[in-house]
Structure 1
Amino acid sequence: MPTIRDVAGEAGVSISTVSLVLNSPERVGDVTRRRVLAAVDALGFVPKAEAVARARRGVGRIGVLAPYSSYPSVARRLTGVLRAVGSRPVEVVVFDQPSASQSTSPLLGSLPVTGRLDGLIVVSLPLEDAIARRLLGLATVLVDVRHPGFDSVHTDDAAGGRLVASHLLARGHRRFAFLGETQESDLYVSPSQRRLAGFRAALAEHSPAVRLAGHGVGSAVAAARELLSASDRPTAVFAADDTLAAGVMRAAHSLGLAVPGDLAVVGFDDGELAEALDLTTVRQPLEESGRAATELLLQRLDGPGAPRSISLGLELVARGSS
């Protein structure tokens, strides 16, 4: 098998330069980097496992476990994590969880004992008590959820629901509905449930109709059509996120209802989808939450301390859908 010395000879550089190209490529000029990588390809060089381990000394490895491929809001939080890491000697490993509606992730049961990570960020996924106890042995920060004994970054979902209720009441609405996401377990209170609780509390005597749907526009359309086909249909619908709100708007259009003339629609998150739909929504500081979680984790890796909690503010963004 070719060695790093063979690569250095092929590329006409020192062994240390080859090591830098493989482990810290930003410290090597473009021309030299290309020459070394061409030699690697030509020789079929593969670093030995022990060499990789030596190269990683002093480089932390943090994991991010999140349903980032299913929820645009979580993907934006991941962006905040990556930006916070920047040029630090830290590797980020991303583990995808298909849905936030599940009670927990199987990976959470094994990651703390594998030794593969120095720290972990868990985004929008609840913790069962048994898994939480195991995670106490691994520096862990929670985003969008809270659990005793852990650092966390979160927003006040109930306050977001109250913002929506105040906005719709001020516009004269008196018949309301809420569209949330179905969850597989009642062992935890989801962000969707907290948003509904705040919405209900602020509406006081105006009790909203409630429907739940799977995550995605298609499921939201079906649930919203049921809501909007009732004889006493609501004049305003609050959806637990912008994707569900898009389904409500599509259902309204299919039934010949004008938005906002016949129906006001409000979402939650405020991403590109909300802007494209001219959707009134509650803006979350999503990238900021990822950045704050990363900073908390890096501080936790530097030394022990009491659990810290960071609460980020919310803002209602009024647009044409309400």
Structure 2
Amino acid sequence: MPSRVTIYDVAAEAGVSISTVSLALNTPARVSTRTRQRVLAAADALGYTPKTEAVAKARRGVGRIGVLAPFTSYPSVARRLNGVLREAAGLPLEVVLFDEESAVRSASPLLESLPLTGQLDGILVVSLPLEESVAGRLRALGLPAVLVDVRHPDFDSVHTDDATGGRLVAGHLVGRGHRRLGFVGETQQSEDYLSPARRRLSGYRAALAEAGCGLADTHVRFVEPSVGASAAAAGALLSGEQRPTAVFAADDTLAAGVVRAAHELGLAVPGDVAVAGFDDSDLAEALDLTTVRQPLEESGRAAMELLHKRMTGKDGAAVREVTLRLELIERGSS
């Protein structure tokens, strides 16, 4: 009975190393088309039968990218994904989505338990804190990874400066003559990291202090990420005698809740209270909302480009950080 053909036989037949055969079958995007075809021809000639999925990937010449993000919870993340998919459309890659419900925990349960070995050739982590234990796991596996809207010294990242965004809003509102300011942001479930809302608040608070205004703790609210929760908190904030004359919300969804609360109290926007958000979502345009525009699609595109370079060995060993520019969009709400 003839012995079973092994990967060693395929390597000898193709005139390549065993590791090259493994790459050609399991992470085909990391070898040239010519090499991959030589390996496949050798496997066919010898009757080698690796895992069906590996052969299918090799014949298509694709790799598999995992994108882990809170897609269903934040409209901004879905727009980042649009940029990822547009960039990936021109590359030999499959994109697999993993939805994490929350972006405000210090650790991602899904990322901690994700089966990475042999199933993914690269991963994008979008708008989720990277726990050190998970970072260590990614390093140990040697899995190419790029972070979006998150930073870690060991991994490439694409991000904006949230504190700068808060400063942009503060400068705009102070410039409009406001001296009693408020803030509504998303509740952070752990103190192990600083969420985007906290970073935006820090820039906002610092710029207000520099302008001689300050931000009273009683004018700061943290809520669950919904219009209803924001409206309830803003309603209480805007009901007092010393209510803020302007409120910065850490994203456009929360800003919509502030606008709703103002209307329910009979307050004119911006005559009685100015409102500003963050992201420049479709909601911001519909509400004529002043907001900070993030280059969301561009962040996804840039991250996909970085990841593909890592996967194909076209980047050096140095970690790359790409910082994208924020822009204040002035509309009728302020």
Q: Which TM bucket (shorter chain)?
A: 0.7 to 0.9
Q: Distance in 2 between matches of 1:138 and 1:52?
A: 19
1:34-85 superposed Cα distances (whole Å, 9 cap, x missing partner): xxxxxxxxxxxxxx99433311013110000001111010000000000001
Alpha-carbon offset, residue 207 of structure 1 = 2.3
Match of 2:319 in 1: 307
Q: Distance in 2 between matches of 1:106 and 1:221?
A: 30
8 Å CA contact retained: 1:111, 1:117: no
Match of 2:99 in 1: 96
Match of 1:320 in 2: 332
State yes or no: 1:282 paired with 2:292: yes
Q: Distance in 1 between matches of 2:170 and 2:257?
A: 20
Alpha-carbon offset, residue 116 of structure 1 = 1.1
Out of 112, 119, 127, the residue aligned to residue 124 of structure 1 is 127
3-state DSSP class of the match of 1:114? Answer: coil
Match of 1:145 in 2: 150
8 Å CA contact retained: 2:173, 2:246: yes
State yes or no: 1:70 paired with 2:73: yes
3-state DSSP class of the match of 1:93? Answer: strand
8 Å CA contact retained: 1:112, 1:138: no
Alpha-carbon offset, residue 130 of structure 1 = 1.2
State yes or no: 1:241 paired with 2:251: yes
Match of 1:52 in 2: 53
Q: Which amino acid aligns with 1:263?
A: V
Number of matched pairs: 275
Q: Which amino acid aligns with 1:64?
A: V
1:251-303 superposed Cα distances (whole Å, 9 cap, x missing partner): 00000000000000000000110000000000000000000000000001112
3-state DSSP class of the match of 1:188? Answer: coil
State the identity as a percent. Answer: 68
1:62-112 superposed Cα distances (whole Å, 9 cap, x missing partner): 000001111010000000000001132100000001111122211211336
8 Å CA contact retained: 1:216, 1:244: yes
Q: Distance in 2 between matches of 1:169 and 1:150?
A: 38
TM-score (norm 1): 0.83
Match of 1:163 in 2: 168
State yes or no: 1:251 paired with 2:254: no
8 Å CA contact retained: 1:66, 1:95: yes
Q: Which amino acid aligns with 1:210?
A: V
Q: Which amino acid aligns with 1:307?
A: V
Instruction: Structure 2 unaligned segments of length 5 or more: list them.
Output: 1-48
State yes or no: 1:79 paired with 2:91: no
8 Å CA contact retained: 2:231, 2:260: yes
State yes or no: 1:206 paired with 2:228: no
Residues 170 and 269 of structure 1, relative CA distance in 2, 3 Å threshold: same
3-state DSSP class of the match of 2:259? Answer: helix
State yes or no: 1:219 paired with 2:239: no
3-state DSSP class of the match of 2:193? Answer: coil
Match of 1:190 in 2: 195
Q: Distance in 2 between matches of 1:199 and 1:189?
A: 15
Residues 115 and 53 of structure 1, relative CA distance in 2, 3 Å threshold: closer
User: What is the RMSD computed on CA atoms of the aligned residues?
Assistant: 1.4
State yes or no: 1:228 paired with 2:248: no
